[in-house]
Structure 1
């Protein structure tokens, strides 16, 4: 077990306070801090601290894959850590986006390699050949848009806005209240000619304002308010219309959201622990100044409506809770440790990453000790076993990330 130093990423939607406070650094930070990566992705690997200094986790794994990952993992996933763990802090909405399936990722990656799209090009959609299922666990109140809402409910929402310009679109979805109707409506809105969008969007936003002008709570208040907030950050963006088709949800601390391939989503605000397959493939559809490839997004989107995809943690016998996710690349569990609690045994086999998000913890193994404060992490190789953790400053909270089959 060795301390793991995360790679800090700055994006405009990040927070100047959340990650700095969590990691005990001065607030506000000089730049918006969006993500802290703990993993071995080539775009921004974490670094392992050892007696001979810091080494990239990619280098550590590549030097001895069998020791670091174990035989079963290397047989299944090759000599690459299959998951990526992050801390994510959103002060403003992220882009409207989806991730490809495994087959779509392989095909897209090969196609862009064949056509010579440079890896560093902002026009590149596929930066690796992997899918990217992901799970985010809320550390504070976390708000998001995720998956297409049941069409009948969307028809009710759009009718409640009382916007005449929406009539034809409402009728379209009401006549085909299924994935086909959602595909048609979404495609129509996301590809509207500029003149048509410039006429429709203001009318919809005026309807949103009227809807919220009533003092009594309204049924679709959060959805309508979100559309107005998105329009302020991204004026004139067709993604504001598309957001009205998605489930609007709020995660309370400890709850999670799982997103499979093809689910259109946008994180709105909040602080969370995120784990995903070791990939950086993102197809964007709006609400961003970055590259948007609508035809490719439409190719990967899953328009099947879903209910709120909230994941509740399941208690384990060892005092932890686990977040179920149908992804072989990763599993995530959480321990909450009180001051007087006995040391807990962590998962017996690596590879894994331990992340402290509250208090301070001490890890022990064969006489070795490693203390982790808030925002600090440790790399656990497959050769490390018998690790125990206890709170040295309580209450303490830690997350254990490992490969899916190890749960």
Structure 2
């Protein structure tokens, strides 16, 4: 096993303080959005060794079976199938969806056949993989996730008393299949005249801000929508966001985001685990490319309440976040000073991240992780955990 040296990505929406506080470093004054742990070629972690640092992707490429285990390489190929992050949102991220595996393969093949460069701003599919993801809150964490039921959204829009929103509310309230109504309104918002939409966004944001302190069940959602308009004035994505559920996660709670589910992270610190892909189709809240026809193919217009996940402990004390895919599995160990050692299965490669206190890792050596520190444990190495703190564990499922 090896301690990891990780890269912080300085995206504009990042918090200036949350990741430095986790790592115990001084803020630079610049946004620090994501701490990447894994072997993604864009910013691979480095194995921190006495003779220097070795990028994890290079270590895996040199010995995939030895690092990942034969079962993982046979199932996912000679690469780590997940990317683990700490995500610190100081401002809203873009509203987006991710394709399923078949859509990603077809879209990538199509864009390759048309010779669209990977770095082209209008490129949708950077690779042929899907990108399911899980976000688990370390602090209270706000986000948008999936479509609210149409009738509830119609009530929310009507309460704003903005004339330009009434046709959308009428469509959502009409007696027709919910998915059809959501698709029609979503498409209409994203294809409407931009100048007229900007005026509607401004009027809706002002009304939402006025309702945010009122006795309405949607007060926190109105506050979030007003904040979106503050960060993205005139953006149609603000109106599209009003179709979505607003959710606040408490520390330890999580959301799983499968293919086609529109979502955006708004504020807070969390750990994020995802399949190793860069495929994103944006709906708004961004200056980047929005491909509405492709977006409508990928988005799943299925209303309902967001399913907030809470971990379930097994007999050994490992708290598991249950998700329906094999590329990743997130679990948590809350260690007590007088607790029994926790033995971790050596079947798959794993990344361990300490978010509170400290943890002692004992395997083919010993390693101490303090808050914000992480380690890579190759498949085949049995590790036990002791200490006093919280450790998140990222693995795959084989």
Give the shorter-chain TM-score range: over 0.9
Partner of 2:385: 389
Q: CA deviation at 1:400?
A: 1.0
SS at match of 1:404: coil
- Alignment map for 1:306-321 (pairs within 5 Å): 306-321=304-319
CA contact (8 A) 1:146 1:264 kept: yes
Partner of 1:6: 6
- In 1, the alpha carbon distance for the partners of 2:261 and 2:231 equals 23
Task: Single out whichever of 297-306 and 182-191 deviates more from structure 2.
Answer: 297-306
- Alignment map for 1:18-57 (pairs within 5 Å): 18-26=18-26, 28-57=27-56
SS at match of 1:201: helix
Q: CA deviation at 1:341?
A: 2.1
Taking only aligned residues, the RMSD between alpha carbons, in angstroms, comes to 1.5
Q: CA deviation at 1:118?
A: 2.0
- In 2, the alpha carbon distance for the partners of 1:38 and 1:166 equals 43
- Structure 1 pair 71–211 and aligned structure 2 pair: CA distance change class (3 A): same
Tell me which of 216, 219, 223 is aligned to 2:217. 219
2:294 is the counterpart of 1:271:
no
SS at match of 2:61: helix
Partner of 1:200: 200
- Alignment map for 1:57-206 (pairs within 5 Å): 57-175=56-174, 176=176, 178-206=178-206
- In 1, the alpha carbon distance for the partners of 2:366 and 2:308 equals 37
- In 1, the alpha carbon distance for the partners of 2:330 and 2:324 equals 12
- Structure 1 pair 242–370 and aligned structure 2 pair: CA distance change class (3 A): same
- In 1, the alpha carbon distance for the partners of 2:218 and 2:243 equals 12
Q: CA deviation at 1:164?
A: 2.8
CA contact (8 A) 2:194 2:236 kept: no
Partner of 1:251: 249
- Structure 1 pair 210–342 and aligned structure 2 pair: CA distance change class (3 A): closer
Q: CA deviation at 1:303?
A: 0.8
Structure 2, unpaired ranges of 5+: none
Task: Single out whichever of 11-20 and 337-346 deviates more from structure 2.
Answer: 337-346
TM-score (norm 2): 0.96
2:364 is the counterpart of 1:377:
no
Q: Deviations over 1:266-291 (max 9, x none)?
A: 00001011101111111111111223
Task: Single out whichever of 192-201 and 255-264 deviates more from structure 2.
Answer: 192-201
Q: CA deviation at 1:389?
A: 1.2
Q: Deviations over 1:362-386 (max 9, x none)?
A: 11114x111111111111111312x
Partner of 1:403: 396
- In 2, the alpha carbon distance for the partners of 1:122 and 1:23 equals 33
CA contact (8 A) 1:350 1:384 kept: no
Q: CA deviation at 1:51?
A: 4.3
- In 1, the alpha carbon distance for the partners of 2:350 and 2:52 equals 21
SS at match of 2:67: helix
SS at match of 1:241: helix
Q: Deviations over 1:45-81 (max 9, x none)?
A: 1111234321111111111111111111111111111
TM-score (norm 1): 0.94
Q: CA deviation at 1:155?
A: 1.4
SS at match of 2:392: strand
Structure 1, unpaired ranges of 5+: none
CA contact (8 A) 1:353 1:379 kept: yes
